[in-house]
Amino acid sequence: MIAIVRSEWLKLRTTAVPWVLAGIALLINGLLILVIYLNHDSNGGGFGGGGGGNSGSSVTTSVVSYPHTTQQLRNLVGSGFEGYLFALLLGVLCITTEFRHKTVTTAFLITPVRPIMVAGKLLMAAIGGAGLAIIMLVSSLVGGGLTLVGLGGSFSALLHQVPAVAPGMILVFILFAILGVGIGSLLTNQVAAIVVTLGWFIILEGILVSLVHGAAKWVPTGAAEAAANLTRNRGDLSLFLFNWWQGTLLMLAYGLVFALIGSMMLTRRDIT
């Protein structure tokens, strides 16, 4: 298994796919950080008061134009959380690229037991997902932190929120990367796997949750939010999520069940 993981690591770091995904994720994270600060500026000029004193009064309220509360700083640290979709695509591409570029025959000659090859993909995708999460966290600290300091905020206050955000975010990226491998082992056609994956998470999942509110905690995104211990504003939708460990187990079950079914299908599939 160690040799297989080393082989997968060589494939991962010598192909363009993970680097392209990381680059796009960083670009989007930068835009999300910008949106956070723009939203702050649009809330009456800032936070913490905002010049709403009584008429004729000489008392003024200081306005804070940057994230400063605990929740605001945690949102800034976790601004790259939506990058879990790129971890998901990384997992999908880890296995479907083998079929697209016709290298799967060589891979199976080296590793004749096909479920072992899928297991190696799962381990490597988990490592890649964790690495992508760390990249997103560092980019949030650098981009968001420098902007925060420039506006007069405290970078140390931002750093203090990392332990509250980083474990859940890294865990979610790992779980989505594993899920991606499971999906890719089922749908070995790369285009079909990407279309189905993005179609579900961008369109179909939202439609299902809006029609059946009780399904919100069972879908992968709801399980991921529970695993990360996040609470999000869903408008009028009252969303009750599982506990973090229940969400983790549910997400892990999705990925492993898909991978198991995909492995069984691969053992019966003629590759040549």
pTM: 0.85
> Which tens digits make up the pLDDT trace of 134-145?
999 999 999 999
Could you give the CA distance from residue 206 to residue 203 in angstroms, rounded to a whole number? 6
Whether residue 272 lies inside any domain: the answer is: no
Give residue 109's pLDDT: 75
- For the chain, the residue count is 272
Q: How far apart are CA 74 and CA 99, in angstroms?
A: 40
First to last CA, the chain: 25
Give the pair of three-digit tokens for residue 194. 């990407």
Percent composition of the chain: helix, strand, coil (DSSP 3-state, to 5)? 75, 0, 25
Distance of CA 8 to the CA centre of its chain: 21
- Residue 212 inside a domain? The answer is yes
For residues 54 and 135, the answer to whether their CB atoms sit within 8 Å is no
Answer yes or no: is 49 within a domain.
Answer: no
d(CA 155, CA 149): 6
Specify if 58 maps to a domain.
no
Closest residue by Cα to residue 173 from 255, 86, 72? 86
pLDDT for the residue 18: 86
Q: What is the pLDDT of residue 31?
A: 92
pLDDT in tens, 166-219: 999 999 999 999 999 999 988 888 899 999 999 999 999 989 988 987 888 899
Tens-digit pLDDT profile for residues 41-50:
665 444 443 3
Asked whether residue 250 is domain-assigned, the answer is yes
**What does the pLDDT read at residue 43?**
56
The string of DSSP codes covering 37-75 is HHHHHHTTTSBS--S-PPTT-------B-S--SHHHHHH
On whether residue 262 sits in a domain, the answer given is yes
Q: Total structural domains in the chain?
A: 1
Cβ-contact 29, 111 below 8 angstroms? no
**Is residue 223 situated within a structural domain?**
yes
Which parts of the chain have pLDDT scores under 70?
40-64, 230-240, 270-272
Residue 155 zone, left/alpha/beta (φ > 0; ψ -120 to 50; rest): alpha
pLDDT value, residue 230: 63
- Distances from the Cα of 133 to the Cα of 6, 30, 47, angstroms: 21, 14, 29
Which tokens sit at 158? 């931002």
Is residue 107 in some structural domain? yes
Tokens of 242: 């599982």
Domain of 10, in residue numbers = 2-38+65-267
Per DSSP (E only), the strands in the chain are none
CA 148 to chain centre: 24
Closest of 218, 217, 210, 214 to residue 235, by C-alpha: 210
217, 214, 132: which is closest to 180 by C-alpha? 132
CA distance 62 to 47: 9
Of 209, 205, 251, nearest to 226 by C-alpha is 251
